[in-house]
Copies of this chain bind each other. A is one copy, B any other.
Amino acid sequence: MSVNPNVAEVASLLSEPSRAMILTSLMDGRFHTASELAYMAAIKPQTASFHLSKLVKGNLVTVEKHGRYRYYQLASREVACILESFLTISKPPEVRSLKQSSQTIALRNARTCYDHLAGRLGVALTESMVNLGYLRKGEKEFEVTSNGERFFQDFGLELADLRKERRSFSRVCLDWSERHHHLAGALGQAITSHLFELNWISRKPLSRAVTITDKGQKELKRYFNLSI
């Protein structure tokens, strides 16, 4: 047989190290300019431009032109999802430099996975919410308990609005570094952006790594009984 939708074509877009780096850089769910991405992938702008046009043609990435900048972004949540699923079957890379290893540690500690929290922080926060009886873990979704309903309300989240969104409400997402599950979906996203708003966590520049602020240390302990 030779019938085969072009897996190879899509895969070859991910198979080139520079492109893979660009894509994983975009996993933070934010826009990035061409030069930013070139810098992150450690390649010249021409090369990045070459790769980015391939990624756009292949529908993995979208562009928006604003003035002289081009803002690149992952084309869809599906693409992010496939990338994350790739990470779960990939082995961790060999460490080549001290800088790289400290970056790896930062990523393992806490990072955004497209639009929600992952890494040790993501997993620990999810576990806390389960232990405190706010969430119950299911096969593919977390269930919000009645205690949870009250808690999230007090915490400042409008669950009813979140449930209206077309995407999954409280997806279970597999974490490549922790090999555990964490909370994704509309609820995962809402909690994460709320933590940014409250300034309990903040982004590291040029990375999807996240750090916990001093305020965050205190408040996460108080609200989620969490000490990292």
Binding site for B on A (CB under 8 A): 1-17, 19-21, 23-25, 40-42, 59-60, 78-79, 81-83, 85-93, 100, 103-104, 107, 139-141, 168-169, 171, 176, 206-209
Instruction: Specify which chain B residues have a CB less than 8 angstroms from the CB of A100 in the assembled complex.
Output: 2-3
| Distance in angstroms between the alpha carbons of A21 and B8 in the assembled complex | 8
Secondary structure of the A contact surface, majority rule: helix
Instruction: Specify which chain B residues have a CB less than 8 angstroms from the CB of A107 in the assembled complex.
Output: 3
Question: Is the Cβ of A82 less than 8 Å from the Cβ of B78?
Answer: no
Question: Is the Cβ of B78 less than 8 Å from the Cβ of A89?
Answer: yes
Question: Is the Cβ of A85 less than 8 Å from the Cβ of B87?
Answer: no
| Distance in angstroms between the alpha carbons of A103 and B5 in the assembled complex | 12
Instruction: Specify which chain B residues have a CB less than 8 angstroms from the CB of A6 in the assembled complex.
Output: 20, 90-91, 93
Question: Is the Cβ of A8 less than 8 Å from the Cβ of B16?
Answer: yes
Question: Is the Cβ of B89 less than 8 Å from the Cβ of A79?
Answer: yes
Number of copies: 2
Instruction: Specify which chain B residues have a CB less than 8 angstroms from the CB of A103 in the assembled complex.
Output: 1-3
| Distance in angstroms between the alpha carbons of A42 and B83 in the assembled complex | 30
Question: Is the Cβ of B17 less than 8 Å from the Cβ of A91?
Answer: no
Ordered by A's residue number, 30 sampled pairs between the chains whose C-beta atoms are within 8 Å are A1-B40, A1-B103, A1-B207, A1-B208, A1-B209, A2-B21, A2-B103, A3-B93, A3-B104, A5-B91, A5-B92, A5-B93, A5-B176, A6-B20, A6-B90, A7-B20, A7-B83, A8-B14, A8-B20, A11-B11, A11-B13, A12-B15, A13-B15, A60-B89, A79-B89, A82-B82, A139-B140, A139-B169, A140-B168, A140-B171
| Distance in angstroms between the alpha carbons of A86 and B79 in the assembled complex | 9
Given the contacts A2-B21, A139-B140, A87 and B7 also touching, CB distance less than 8 Å: yes
Shortest beta-carbon distance, A113 to chain B, in Å? 13
